[in-house]
Amino acid sequence: MLSDDDQTTHIDEIVETIVYLYTESRRLTKQAAREIGLTGPQLTVLKLLDTLGDVSLSSLSERIRAQNSTVTGIIDRMEREGLVVRERSTADRRVVYIRLTEKGRELARSVPVEPMEIFRTVLSTLSSDDTRDLLRVLGKLGKRVRALVREHEAVSADDRRKAAGS
């Protein structure tokens, strides 16, 4: 049995470590991107497009967990550099597909780095047991956070409903 103090210390350490892993991984992606004249997010988008093929701007946003307005800017700059083109869908003229140009594709293939590279590299050195444990516990965490968020959003929505009705 762990004491409350131990538990608190452990939580701090876990948060510390996850923040470290995340920020460090992003920093190194950025550094790799720099070497070919790109920014971190731009490299991420480039790699995604090479992997997924043409995708709409919204699904791109969803994939990299950013708002549409953010991605609009990123694509603007990549289009300016001739790495991608925008192509309006004929089926639904609200939708914009992002397509790699030849230049963009070549650049994408010339870089060996994956998004969150260092992170993945190190993860692959874990034993099967460690990987399984990590996945098991993180899975629980993700599930519980999602549940809490849903709950929280529901309360907020209810607040707004009440406010509107008053």
Specify whether the CB–CB gap between 116 and 27 falls below 8 A.
Answer: no
**Taking CB under 8 A as the rule, which mask of x and - marks residues 132-151 in contact with its own copies?**
xxxxxxxxxxx-xx--xx--
| Type of residue numbered 36 | I
CA dist 139 and 79 (Å) reads: 38
| Type of residue numbered 90 | T
Name the nearest CA neighbour of 72 among 80, 83, 61: 61
Among 36, 95, 111, 118, binds DNA (CB under 7 A): 95
Is 52 one of the binding residues for its own copies (CB under 8 A)? no
Buried b (16+ CB within 10 A) or exposed e, 43-72: bbbbbbbbeeeebbbeebbeeeebeeeebe
Is 75 one of the binding residues for DNA (CB under 7 A)? yes
Is 65 one of the binding residues for DNA (CB under 7 A)? yes
CA dist 161 and 38 (Å) reads: 45
Q: Which does 113 bind (CB under 5 to 8 A by kind): its own copies, DNA, none?
A: none
Among 16, 24, 35, 76, binds DNA (CB under 7 A): 76
Stretch that binds DNA, among 11-19, 72-80, 106-114, 155-163 (CB under 7 A): 72-80
Is 34 one of the binding residues for its own copies (CB under 8 A)? no
Residues forming contacts to its own copies in the complex (CB under 8 A) are 1-2, 7, 10-11, 13-15, 17-25, 28, 65, 116, 118-126, 128, 130-142, 144-145, 148-149, 152
